[in-house]
């Protein structure tokens, strides 16, 4: 149990039958009346954000989130198969659970699987990946009217905007949180 007075960013709590992660919190002590804690909570199962206020003495159970590194093996229709690197156990997750998490992840790469009470709710890809460009238009010298970026397709099929000097076959580094090009490798 954690009291609202001890809330910190990143803490996960169980509240009203759901599991929330604290995005923001603020201790408020008005001149008149009792103090309270104003929070922004993100539902970790569906991604919705809600704002709630708590009395500082109010208690919520902390949610235990298990994060395990697992290797992404392959996709079979709408199922994605992962393998635990220590026990070699395999699990298959459906497209609804995965979402866009594997947009930049190749087979045999390590991802982090997040679960609560044995129920998997999210897949966290590595923060940065290196992928080869499979298709892009050639950049023309002096063609900077479009902001000096052009669309490129990487080997996983995702679309990334890259600078004009990047060509087909180049390996680039991508930030998976934003989908932005970082550098050539």
pLDDT digits (tens, 9 = 90+) for 10-54: 788 988 888 888 889 999 898 888 899 999 998 887 778 999 999
Quickly state the pLDDT bin for 147 (edges 50, 70, 90): low
Phi, psi of 4 (to 5 degrees): -60, -25
Q: What is the pLDDT of residues 62-76, one digit of tens each?
A: 888 888 999 999 988
Q: What is the span of the domain harbouring residue 145?
A: 128-184
Element spanning 119, H or E: strand 119-124
Closest CA to 185 of 164, 170, 175: 170
How many domains does one find in the chain?
A: 3
Over range 152-169, report the average pLDDT: 89
Sheet of 171-175, strands arranged across: 159-163, 149-154, 128-136, 171-175, 180-184
Distance of CA 135 to the CA centre of its chain: 26
Residue 119's CATH number: 2.40.50.140
Question: 31 and 81, same structural domain?
Answer: no
pLDDT of residue 67: 86
What pLDDT shows up at residue 117? 81
* Domain termination site, one of 124, 143, 158: 124
Same domain, 8 and 55: yes
């Amino acid at each position: 149990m954690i009291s609202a007075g001890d809330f910190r960013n990143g803490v996960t709590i169980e509240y009203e039958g759901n599991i929330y992660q604290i995005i923001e919190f603020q201790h408020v002590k008005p001149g008149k009346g009792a103090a309270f804690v104003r929070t922004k909570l993100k539902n970790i199962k569906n991604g919705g954000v809600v704002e709630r206020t708590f009395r500082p003495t109010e208690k919520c159970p902390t949610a235990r989130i298990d994060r395990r590194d697992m290797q992404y093996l392959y996709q079979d229709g709408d199922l994605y198969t992962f393998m635990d690197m220590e026990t070699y156990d395999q699990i298959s997750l459906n497209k609804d659970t995965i979402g866009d998490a594997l947009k930049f992840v190749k087979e045999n790469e390590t991802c982090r699987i997040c679960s609560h009470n044995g129920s998997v709710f999210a897949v966290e890809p590595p923060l940065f990946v290196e992928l080869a460009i499979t298709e892009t238009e050639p950049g023309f010298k002096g063609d900077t009217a479009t902001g000096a970026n052009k669309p490129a397709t990487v080997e996983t099929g995702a679309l990334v905007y890259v600078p004009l000097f990047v060509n087909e076959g180049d390996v680039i580094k991508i930030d998976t949180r934003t989908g932005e090009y970082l550098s050539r490798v």
